Each structure stands twice: as C-alpha cells, then as structure tokens.
Chain A
Amino acid sequence: MITEIAWKNVWRNKPRSLIVIAAITVGVFAGVFSIAIMNSAIVQRIDASVNEELAHIQVNNKDFRNSSDIKSIIPDYNQVVSEMMSAPGMKEVSGRIIIRGIASTSARSTGVEISGINVEKERRMLKLADKIIPGTGTFFESETRFNRAYIGEKLAKELNIIRYNLDEEALSRLREKGVPEKIISGLEPIYGERFTSGRKLQKAVENLLGEKDYKKFINPVMEAAWSYREGSRIILTFVDINNIQTGAAFRISGIFRTNNDMFEETSVFVPEEELRKLTGLKDNDYHRVIGLLDENSFTEEATSEIREALSSYEVLNWKEIQPDLAMFADMMQQIYGLFMAIILAALAFGIVNTMLMSVLERTKEIGMLAAIGMNRRRIFIMIMLESIFLSIVGGLSGMAVGGTVIALTAKKGINLMQYSEGFEAMGYSAHLFPAIDTNFFIITTILIVLTGILSSMYPARKALQLNPVEAIRTE
C-alpha cells in the first residue's frame, strides 16, 4: 500500500521529478559508457596478450628468464608436454627456442628477441598468423631455400624496410578511399618519391597541404603510400651454443601488425629448424613451452596443477607475466564503483533538494497521515521509497541508454586515432569496442538504490518532525 502511494507521489509534480530523473539518467549513462570504454581497452589488451603474444601458460627452464642463456634449455621436453596437456582445459602446447640478438639492415640495427617456433602448431594456436598485413607475404607458407622470418611492422619500420611511395597504385587507392582530387593533385611534387620513414612523408605532405588538410588527410595518405617490397631481407646476429657470434640473412616471410608497439618492435619469429641449424641446438631442445587453454577461466587451476607436476621448472601464466594487466582487470570493478559513486553523490544533492521540497509542500498532508494513524516508520518508509523510486527510474533509464549506446558502438567501435601512438606504445589498441558485463550493471543498481536511501534520510527526518496537530489547525 505504502509502495503504491510512494510511487504515485513521485509523479505528483511531473516537471520536477522529470528533471531529477533526467539528471540521473545522464549521470548514470556517462558512468556506464565511460567504464565500457575503459573496460574494453583492458579486455582487448588481455585478448591480444593471450592470443597473439603469450598464450596462457609458459614453462621455462628455471634459470632462463634471469640469464637468457642459450644453454638454459628445458631438460625433458616430452615430460613437460605431457604434463601440460593433462592439465584441465589445455588445448594445445608448443615448444619455442628463444634467443636474443640484433636485427639489422644496411641502414639500421636494433635488438630483438628471436623465437624459433613450430609453424604448424603456432598457426593453429595463436592468432598472430592472422595479423599479417595483406600483401606482405605469408606465415611461412612458401618454401624457399632461404631462411625466413616473420616480423612486426614496427620492427620493419625501424629497419627502414617499410617505405612510403605515392606510386600509381597508391594514387588509385587514394581515389578509392574518396580523397578529393584537389588533395591528390596537390601532392604531385612527391609522386613516386620513396620515403624511408613515415615521418619524412608526413613532413613533406604537411608542407604541401598546409596544416588543416594535413590533419584531415594524412592518415589515408600514409595508408595508401605504405609500400613494402616482398621478400626483403634482414640480417639476424646472435650467439650460438658455443658462445660464438653468428648470424645469417633471413628473408621476410611476412609482416604482422598488432596494437602492441613493444611486441612488434622486438619480436622476430623463425621456423625452429632454421634456428637449430644456425645455433647448434639439437632436436627437442627448447627454452620455453607455451600452452593455450580453452578458456581464460582455466588459468588458475591449470597453472597450479602444472606447477605441482613440474616443480623444477618455472611455470607462469599470463597474469603473472603481465601482473599489471591482471591487476587492472580486477580493479576495473572497483574503479567503476568509485567513479559511479562520485557521480551519484553529485546527483544526491539534487535528489535531496527535490525530496525536501516535496516533503515541505505536504506539511498538512503528512500531518494528516500521522493523525489518522500512519505511524512514524511507515511515513519514513514512504519518503524513502519515493526517493528510491526517483533514483531507480533515472538509474534504469540511464543504464538502458548506456546499454544501447554500448551495443551500437560495439560493432564499429570508437577509433581514437589521435591517441593511437600513445596507446599502442603501451600495448593498447586505440580502436575500442565498448564492452561491459552484467556485474557492472549490478554494481550500478546497488549504488543507485543506496543513493536513493541515503538521499532520503534528511527529508524523511524532516517529515517525521511534522506535527499532526498542524493538520487540525484551522486556516
């Protein structure tokens, strides 16, 4: 009964209630959507981390990570494989040779980590093969007599393998993209010129187009002018098992692009046989075995089982290798709670004001209710319910709007191109697909109800102070 009355009381003064509800909607929506964006950055990073770079579980020789010594190999590869495969949720495992070295071209050189991999297995396991830039080759599909390497775009740029060239193809690509003729012809002075770095191209374009057009069109221009001569070669230098410096020329089998600059810049993948030949490592000599699980949720269980079984090895899961990522993921809910609480606190002022006004308008009515026999507890609950209803209506509509916008943007995503440099340097994608799970909605609802309750305290107290005698007093 009181619930009914409270609900109807909320709608007594429609404009007033609607303003408060609108405010709550805006606030809740903003909170939900912002968190969806932050959350998606983390979720995408974890996904990339696991499926492109690390896999779920790593087993190393105990000393390997500290020393990077080529001789710290896994003593019993077969045992490791069988133990890993018997762990809950394990889908597939594969061994890797890992060596540190220098990658160089005639122009540049830089330090890299070279991973000798089992091509077939890793093609199945990790999505790295799918990250290849179309037109740059394949993931070791073509056999050649040369050594082959699969490298990241950042590395390729670092070594000046990627060029920027506005040739005929590039120009037609520009037209396809819908870049206006005026811009295209404005770039005439640099047609066919080979730029060895993106920055040089950017400089030239800026000089030709002026700041405004430059900002607008530089991205499509760079994309179109991007060129790579298939089969370019790099030299990999490293140390073999006898501590002798050695190396060889490697043909680039393909170039991959991920959102993780650091990973792209330092990772080189080579078929394990080729690396064995050059280093002198024997068959079944591996430094690391990686394992992919069916689902992330198996991580803890699988890790502890494998750790027990392989106690003389170092067993790590992705959460331990990148603890900050896992920490962020866990903290997400707390961060969200805090953010939402602050927004709701701001809203609470409005709710309190509204409820107060509503109570003070009803002095006589509330006095009457007390007179005819509505006890204090019921009056208190009535006011509290009105406040909660206000909050919930606003909150639910805020979540509904939030959910809708999230669903709408989830397909195409939000591309924060401006910040892609900064994001990708830390390993995050700047193209975010907002995502949120039901936990967040639950947290929101709880906070909203709490806000409603807390906001009602003061007005309800005021209502209780009203004297039933006032109701009798004649005008």
Chain B
Amino acid sequence: MAWRNIWRNRRRTLITAASVFFAVFFALIMRSVQLGSYDRMFKNVIESYSGYIQVQQKDYFDEPVLDNSFELDQGLLDLIASDPNVKAVVPRLESFALAAAGSSTQGVVVMGIDPQGEKEVSEVHNRLVRFKLTDEAIKALMNETLPERTKKLLKIFKNEAYTGTGRLMLDMGLSEKDTSDVLPVFRKYASFSNYYLEEEDSMSVIIGDGLSDYLGLSIGDTIVLIGQGYHGVSAAGKYTIRGIAKIPSPDIDNIVVYMPVNTARKLYGAHGLSTSAVIMMNNTDEKSLVATAGRLAEVIPESLVLRSWKELNALMVNQMDADNKSGMIMIGILYLVIAFGVFGTVLMMLAERRREFAVLISIGMQKHKLAGVVAFELLLIGLMGVMAGVIASLPVVIYGNINPLRFKGQMASMWEDYGFEPIMPTLMPDAYYLWQTVVVLIILSIAIFFSIRKIYKLNVIQSIKA
C-alpha cells in the first residue's frame, strides 16, 4: 500500500527523491575525489620519501640531528627484512649541507642511500630524467616540423624535465597517433643521458632537477658540499654529478643530493651509522601496519623506536585533516539544506492527507498501522534517492579511479608549487559510501518521527470536517 501511495502524488515523490539523489550523488563524488586525492598524496610521499615505517634512534624524531643517529648493521636489517609483511628495508643517512658551485650556494639535504635497496623503496632510479627541454633542445625542436600547438607549448615548458614519455606527451599536447612521427624528434634533441648510482661510485651523486637548474650544474660537473658532521666535526667534500632526478615534490626536488650511504658516512664522519631505516610493506592497510609495527617493536633494540608514516608526515596529516573537515562541512551544509526540503515536503504531505488519514482511522485502521505505512512510504522515497545517487556515482568514481583527471598547464604548475601532484584520482567505494546512506537515514528518521507523532495526535472528527 505504501508503494502505491507514493506514486499517487508522483511529482512530489519524484522531486523529493530527486533532491536526495542530488545531495547523495554530489556528496559521493566530492568525497571520492577528496579522499582519493589524500590517498594519492600520502602514497606519493610515503613511496618517494618517508616509507611506511622508519626505525630511528629514540631522540631523533624530536631532534633530527646526526648526533642522534644509530648503528645499523646488516644483522638488524636482515632481522627486519625477515618479517612476512616487510617488502624492503633500507638504511639512510640524512643531513644538511651547503652546496657550492662556482659562486652559487644553496642549502641542500644530503641523502645517503643504498642504491640497490632504494630501488624498492623510493625508486630514485625511476625518476631519472630522460628528456629535458633545454634552450638548445627547444631551438632545435622549433626548426623541426611539429604541430603548432606543440610549438607554443614548448615555450611554456622551457627547462622542464621528464622522467618518461607519458608526461612529456601530455604537456606537449601530443596524442597516441603522434607517437610514431613526433616522439622520435623529441628523442633526438631532448634526450638526456642519465646514470644511476652504483655502490662503488664513492664520489658520485645524483641531484634533483630543481637543484641542478639553480646551481647551473649538469652531468659531469663538480659539486662541493660543506657542513657540520657527527659530533661537530667539519664536513667537506667534492663530488661528481652522475645523474639528475626529477622528484615530483618541488620541496625535495630543489634541494636533494643522493649519494651512496657509505659516501655520506665518510663525509659526515659517521661510520656505520644511519639516521633511519626505511621500511616498505606488502600489505599497507591500517591493520597490517599496526600488526607489523607490533612485531618489529619486539625485535629492535631498546634504544630504537618505530615511527609510522603518520608521525613522519604529521604536517601533511594536519593539512589533510583541515581540508577533510572543510569538505565535510560543505557536505553537511548540503544535507542540511536538503533536510529542510524533505521536512517541508513531509509537512505539506501530512497537511494534505489529513482528511484521508482521518477517514482511514475512522473506518477502523489502527493508528500504528497507519503510521507504519506512512513511515514506510518516506523510507521508500529516501531510499530511492539514495540508490539512484549511489548507482549514478559508481561509473564516475570507477572511471576517475582508473583514468584520473590530470591538470594541465598553469593549474598543474600551481599545484606542483605547493608540493602536490596535479592529479585528482577518486577513491573506490568504501566506508564513506555507507556514511551518506546513514546521513540520509538520519534525516528520514527525524521526518518519520515527526509524521508518526502527527498521526497519533490526529483528531479524527476535526480532520474529516476539513
């Protein structure tokens, strides 16, 4: 009976359901994009820098100085690596130095890494620059036959470095079909011969693309590093630039110098020491992380502690949290507005059907039965809206996950300036989908509660007269 009832006033039913649909659809898409972006951002920073868990000396977190480094021997590394959920563990020695080249100087972060091991962690080897649009490259390219659009874009992306063809093609406005004729041209002029670090290269470093631009250094050039070492000794060294990497986050890209960890140890006089051991995991969900951390805590020495990626990126967590809350507030406002609409409709409906209810009650229908029918009606309308919203959102969410929206041009560089990858992936349906339904149900229950009250308070005689 409830079902038939809602179709009696088809328009009203549809409009109310449509308003719920609108709110749910919009909320789902927005949350999906928001949560997807956070997820991506964290993944980026975890995979390119912090790892999921780090082993550190217990004071290092509060005072990240060389003096708070610890001895990390192969035995401990193997022990950690033997944990079933640990994908890779690598030592790192990180500190600060002043880099000089000619008369330019710049503060840099020196990251002593295990070149082979790091391949499974921050994958620096994958970030080596393959193409660079230097001034000469652009000059040469301009003389070739290229699409007009591409030539215009060449000017905008002057000095840009690329680690692969994907992004290069995107920025140059090239599509699949241009691969065969245009790409070889780029390869010819803009290619970059790059090399990775080998353990034996004790005096070689890889620097960030931003840093190389700033200091005007390229492959084969010399870079001087000066700084303060372990227990205050002076640190100084001259190194050859073996490779240039493009790190997505400009904060890092502008100041990073990678070198083999033993080289770093020599520079800073910190033999056998590391500032952290970076751990990547197989299963990365919260539960596995906690379990893994629990197991590892048992095996590491007393003087060391484990730090999770949340602690290591506390700032980012804080920022994401603020953004998250603001997003929730926006959606809250949306639902509030819809709630008013639903309440209004319910009130009108109740007023309109007063007579009908009175007649039903007087011919013998129990009040609670009537209330039940009405409640069910409202539930149906609300659920229709929710289901429609969910179903409509699924294709968008799934597409956004597989083929996320990528920013181009100015927007993209603006995002990168802030340290974010210019991409907006969505998050696959998760708990947040459930939340929308819950909110709608809450709104409905208030409306239903109200209706039931009204029905029970109904004065039959007066209502029939109306």
Contacts and interface: CB of A to CB of B under 8 A. Distances in A.
Contacts of A354: 344, 348
Contact of B105 (A66, A239, A350): A239
A456 interface: no
Given A23-B341, A26-B336, A68-B214, A346 B22 contact: yes
Contacts of A345: 22
B304 to A, nearest CB: 17
Taking residues whose C-beta sits less than 8 angstroms from the other chain, chain B's interface range is 35 or more
Contact of B348 (A23, A101, A357): A357
B232 interface: yes
Interface string B1-42: 000000000011001101100110010000000000000000
A104 B414 contact: no
Contact of B337 (A27, A357, A425): A27
A94 interface: no
B226 interface: yes
Interface in B307-353: 314-316, 318-319, 321-322, 329-330, 333-334, 336-338, 340-341, 343-345, 347-348, 352
Given A16-B347, A100-B106, A425 B333 contact: no
A359 to B, nearest CB: 11
Contacts, number: 157
B239 to A, nearest CB: 17
Most buried by A among B11, B227, B343: B11
Nearest to B226: A245
Given A324-B414, A426-B319, A238 B96 contact: no
A199 interface: yes
Given A68-B106, A349-B15, A34 B337 contact: no
Contacts of A22: 340
A19 B347 CA distance: 10
A111 B329 CA distance: 40
B63 interface: yes
A214 to B, nearest CB: 16
Nearest to B65: A108
Contact of B63 (A68, A196, A416): A196
Contacts of B410: 327
Given A66-B214, A422-B318, A71 B103 contact: yes
A106 interface: yes
Contact of B414 (A34, A69, A327): A327
B31 to A, nearest CB: 14
B340 A109 contact: no
Interface string A46-89: 00000000000000000000111111000000000000000000
A237 B315 contact: no
A200 interface: yes
A342 interface: yes
Nearest to B344: A19
A383 interface: no
Given A108-B65, A357-B12, A349 B341 contact: yes
Classify the secondary structure of B's interface with A: helix
A250 B418 CA distance: 33
B249 interface: no
Nearest to A202: B62
A396 interface: no
Nearest to B109: A111
A467 interface: no
B12 A356 contact: yes
Interface in A351-391: 352-354, 356-357
B27 to A, nearest CB: 10
Contact of A419 (B19, B216, B322, B336): B322
Contact of B107 (A110, A425, A426): A110
A112 interface: yes
B330 A69 contact: no
A309 B88 CA distance: 59
A26 B337 contact: yes
Interface residues of A, number: 62
A27 B16 contact: no
A30 B226 CA distance: 54
Contacts of A68: 104-106, 214
A178 B26 CA distance: 46
B336 A69 contact: no
Contacts of A19: 340, 343-344, 347
B98 interface: yes
Contacts of A196: 63
B96 A110 contact: yes
Contacts of A422: 315-316, 318-319, 321-322
Given A109-B228, A356-B12, A426-B319, A243 B337 contact: no
A178 B232 CA distance: 44
Contacts of A66: 213-214, 216
B102 interface: yes
16 contacts: A16-B348, A19-B344, A26-B336, A26-B337, A34-B330, A68-B104, A111-B98, A243-B102, A324-B414, A343-B333, A345-B22, A353-B348, A357-B352, A418-B322, A421-B315, A423-B319
Interface of A: 15-16, 19-20, 22-23, 26-27, 30-31, 34, 66-71, 100-102, 104, 106-112, 196-197, 199-200, 203, 237-239, 243, 245, 323-324, 327, 339, 342-343, 345-347, 349-350, 352-354, 356-357, 416, 418-419, 421-423, 425-426
Given A66-B216, A71-B103, A197-B62, 19 more contacts: A15-B347, A19-B344, A22-B340, A23-B340, A68-B105, A70-B103, A102-B98, A104-B228, A106-B232, A108-B65, A109-B228, A238-B105, A323-B414, A346-B338, A349-B18, A349-B19, A353-B19, A353-B345, A426-B319
